[in-house]
Amino acid sequence: MTSVDDLWFLSDGACQTAEQTYHDLRNRYTGFVEFTRHRNVPRNRFRDVATVAQNHGAPYGAHTLAYRSTGELLLVRHEGVDMWVLPGGEIDEGESLQEAALRELGEESGIEATIEGLGMLGRIEFYCDGNMAWGVLPVYEARAETVDIAVDDPDHEISEARWFDELPADTRDREEILEWRGQRFGGA
């Protein structure tokens, strides 16, 4: 007897939710940088990201481009990927994407900010054994209200947070961040 592979059903649900979230964000915001990433992942990872995407469309949660009025950008050092990244992470039950982005910003840097719009919108596609699921990666732009940094990451993934005028070479999504910065501030 052949068992039905439930990855197809899971990926279909993830794609439907991601599509709804994507269109909601595109209808609400303008002027953001868009990008797409493709990931070949093992079955267990595919199942994890598709399940999260099926819940709210954003398998990597929500992130923030927090900046000072001088144009400096906040980055955090993520030990799991050994790179500077934008603060952000998973969405808790009952949180909106914006609420999650601001909570994660506070946990990872101690910074309070006001969201002014959507800075970047990623489409992350996951492939496994002939199945495809995708999710959105919303990255909100936010003007910092506080500038003193205090990392209090409950996940212990973030070791440092700093303001940068020039982005380090080992910044994840560096090209897209520079494109956003050029649109926002008129130069990289």
pLDDT attached to residue 2: 37
117: left (phi > 0), else alpha (psi -120 to 50), else beta? left
- The angle subtended at Cα 57 by Cα 97 and Cα 27, nearest 5°, is 70
Separation CA 133–CA 149 (nearest Å): 36
- Please, which pLDDT band fits residue 187 given cuts at 50, 70 and 90? low
Give the pLDDT confidence of 79-124 residue by residue, as tens digits: 989 999 999 999 999 999 999 999 999 999 999 999 999 999 999 9
Nearest to 86 by CA among 73, 99, 97, 98: 73
Give the pLDDT confidence of 8-55 residue by residue, as tens digits: 889 999 999 999 999 999 999 999 999 999 999 999 999 999 999 999
Determine how many CB atoms are found less than 10 A away from the CB of residue 112. 14
H helical segments located in 29-96: 43-56
10 Å CB burial of residue 123 (0-12, 13-18, 19+) is middle
The domain segmentation of the chain, as residue ranges, is 7-185
CATH of 7-185, one of 3.40.640.10, 3.90.79.10, 3.40.50.720, 3.40.50.300: 3.90.79.10
More confident residue, 175 or 3: 175
pLDDT at 159 over 50: yes
128: left (phi > 0), else alpha (psi -120 to 50), else beta? beta
Type and span of the H or E element at 25: helix 7-28
Nearest to 160 by CA among 49, 52, 82: 82
Say if residues 181 and 73 touch (Cβ distance below 8 Å): yes
Give the pLDDT confidence of 131-140 residue by residue, as tens digits: 999 999 999 9
Strand partners, 35: 122
pLDDT attached to residue 1: 36
What global pTM score does this model have? 0.92
- Please, which pLDDT band fits residue 146 given cuts at 50, 70 and 90? confident
